Amino acid sequence: MTHRLYLIRHGEQLDAEHGVSDGPLSPRGRRQAQALAERLGGVPFDAAWHSPLERAAETAEIIARRMPALQPEPSPLLFDCYPSGPAPETPSAYDAFFGSITEAEMEAGAAQMSDAAAEFLRSSREDRHDLLITHNFVIGWFVREALGAAAWRWVSISQAHCGLTILTQKPGRPWSLLVHNDLAHLPPELRTGLSETYAL
């Protein structure tokens, strides 16, 4: 018996480069979501959830069109957030990033992700395929949690738009990282959300 958790970052957002905090997908973002939907078409999903933000909700809607039996539900546990603050051992290279986040944002993010772990990383005694459509930092946190890495390490784990990450768990065993940021379903011109170094 295996529980599989499929983690998807939303498609590219329209006008995100202009500092727009949320909005619909760009034309390229819709193509990313369509390609991902084709990739996931044969997976027998049991349930799906998405962030309530528009870019994630639209990604979920496009995927659901390919799988009519799937009805993704919004979950506030999947909102974009800052899952933790820095630790004494956090490299100084991240000082500017963490310095731009308030203590309140860090505390809210940590509480959210604690609840998300309780909800989505529960052990299952049956085969399950669950889909989460969310945001870069949230996925980084889930991967960090599966690997048992330090709390701040989410900031060093990146996910491309509509990249595919899969966590798995068998009864009595910890969660494992099966796939991270798989982009095989996206041609090079649709690989966005990472630096050019990782987009190849």
Question: Domain-by-domain residue ranges, the chain?
Answer: 3-190
CB 5 within 8 A of CB 167: yes
Pick the more confident residue, 158 or 198. Answer: 158
Tens digits of residue pLDDT in 11-50 = 999 886 666 688 899 999 999 999 999 999 989 999 999 9
| pLDDT value at residue 39 | 96
pLDDT(88) > 70? yes
Mean pLDDT of 111-140: 94
End-to-end CA distance of the chain: 35
| pLDDT value at residue 68 | 84
Tens digits of residue pLDDT in 158-174 = 999 999 999 999 988 99
- Which of the following CATH numbers is that of domain 3-190: 3.30.300.30, 3.40.50.170, 3.30.565.10, 3.40.50.1240? 3.40.50.1240
Provide the Cα torsion 144, 43, 29, 31; round to 10°.
150
Q: For residue 78, what are its two tokens? A: 């999947």
**How far, in Å, CA of 47 to CA of 93, rounded?**
39
